Amino acid sequence: MHLMMLLMPFLLEAQQKEYKRFETRPINERYIIDYSDQLSVKIYGIIKSNTIAHVNHQTEAKIEYKPNENFNIGFGLGYKWFGVDLAFNFSGVNDDDETFGNTKRFDIQSNIYARKFAIDVNLLKYKGYYGANPEDYRTSYDPDNPYPIRSDIRTVNFRISALYIFKHDKFSYRSAFTYNERQIKGAGSFLAGPFFSYYKMDADSTLIPMEAVANFNAEVDFRGSEYIRYGLSGGYAHNFVIGKRVFFSLTFAIGLGPEIKKTPALNGREADVEAKFTGQLALRTALGYNSEKFYAGLAAVGVFSGEREKEDYLERGVSNLKIFIGKRLNPPKFLR
């Protein structure tokens, strides 16, 4: 027992070193500084969106619908591998239901940045949209009452994807998006990984307004349609650094794979199931300032898809935009 008590500090130190090695992974310190052993606190604002559009490929006409995009304000904490952000819809900030309608939503958009992987998980259920571009098809456009409200439009969207970062020893997603690291020298990396998504849209009437029927195929109706897509994505990401503190991060990834489209029986149309090879585009960007103690910036993540039919197709997009400012502190003893 006495021998174990004498050896305990050395055993704990050895375990801590092994945990540290496992948690941080090897990095090239000429490119990246690790701050994961500090407590990170921030305040931020965020806008989330889940857009749809009925598009005609031949005429290039588009009927676009958006939810009422609230600007939420919150705070976040981060230490080692753990982080949590909480945002709230404050009264007086988003009092625009008369203009854009009321959107009911269940929205989880999670972007996880490990050393070797960037993982995105989206689960969204929206009800209530507004027509975002009525000036493109309304001859009698009224600027005092500009947006047609479609409280009947409903969407369900689930997506999960993972991108492996090949040059993870030199390129850091954490420095641009979670700020528990700092990129001090510009670097980039190729990316690759799988994705899966499920999408469904429904409404009480067609997405095509009467004023715009001439520019679309009125027989094409996407209500009740379901889309199941899976495949592989590949792309490139780069962090540009100025003076070891100012940075700009840009990522693009193209996903390719089969998509199964299920169309229900509607207006005399028979139910149908078809499969085709389709693509999607994922974008990720950030701009900010990252120093030893303070950081600030903005970041945006978006995924956009559409089956690109010869005539009409349904275009979908999920995105979020975040702006924040934060500080790193020495963690309290109970965390250490």
Each residue's pLDDT tens digit, 238-252: 999 999 999 999 999
First to last CA, the chain: 26
Closest by alpha carbon to 253, among 120, 57, 66? Answer: 120
Q: Which of 12-16, 107-111, 325-329 bottoms out in mean pLDDT, i.e. has the lowest? A: 12-16
Tokens of 178: 């979670």
Q: Decide if 329 contacts 305 (C-beta within 8 A).
A: no
3-state helix, strand and coil shares in percent for the chain, rounded to the nearest 5 = 10, 55, 30
- Return the ∠ at Cα 289 (arms to 168 and 298), rounded to 5°: 85
Distance CA 4, CA 2 (A): 5
The pLDDT tens digits for 124-177 are: 999 999 999 888 887 776 777 778 999 999 999 999 999 999 999 999 999 998
Task: Enumerate the β-bridge partners of residue 234.
Answer: 192, 254
Q: How many CA atoms lie within 13 A of 335 on its CB side?
A: 15
Tokens of 328: 């790193």
Q: Decide if 39 contacts 335 (C-beta within 8 A).
A: yes
Between the CA of residue 158 and those of 113, 118, 271, 276, what are the distances in Å?
19, 17, 23, 20
User: Where are the alpha helices (H) located in the chain, listed in sequence order?
Assistant: 2-24, 97-100, 174-177
- Return the ∠ at Cα 211 (arms to 205 and 214), rounded to 5°: 95
Q: Which residue's structure tokens are 């089969």? A: 258
The pLDDT tens digits for 9-23 are: 444 344 444 434 434
Model pTM score:
0.82
The pLDDT tens digits for 43-73 are: 999 998 899 999 988 888 899 999 998 889 9
pLDDT > 90? residue 277: no
What is the per-residue pLDDT for 165?
Answer: 96
Instruction: Name the burial class of residue 80, with classes exposed (0-12), middle (13-18) and buried (19+) by CB atoms within 10 angstroms of its CB.
Output: middle
Q: Decide if 35 contacts 24 (C-beta within 8 A).
A: no
Q: Decide if 296 contacts 288 (C-beta within 8 A).
A: yes
Please compute the mean of the pLDDT values over residues 209-227 and round it to a whole number: 87
What is the per-residue pLDDT for 110?
Answer: 83
Tokens of 45: 């604002």
Q: How many CA atoms lie within 13 A of 218 on its CB side?
A: 6
pLDDT > 60? residue 210: yes
Q: Decide if 250 contacts 237 (C-beta within 8 A).
A: yes
What is the per-residue pLDDT for 269?
Answer: 73
Residue 78 neighbours by CB under 8 Å, 6+ apart: 39, 40, 41, 84, 178, 179, 180
Q: Decide if 72 contacts 88 (C-beta within 8 A).
A: yes
Q: Collapsing DSSP states into helix, strand and coil, what is residue 201?
A: strand
Give the mean pLDDT of the chain: 86
Residue 99 neighbours by CB under 8 Å, 6+ apart: 146, 147
Q: Which of 73-87, 114-128, 176-190, 286-300 bottoms out in mean pLDDT, i.e. has the lowest? A: 73-87
What is the per-residue pLDDT for 252?
Answer: 95
Could you tell me the pLDDT band of residue 80, with boundaries at 50, 70 and 90?
Answer: confident
Q: Decide if 300 contacts 38 (C-beta within 8 A).
A: no
pLDDT > 50? residue 5: no
Task: Enumerate the β-bridge partners of residue 87.
Answer: 74
Please compute the mean of the pLDDT values over residues 295-314 and round it to a whole number: 85
Give, for 317, the enclosing helix (H) or strand (E): strand 312-329
pLDDT > 50? residue 118: yes
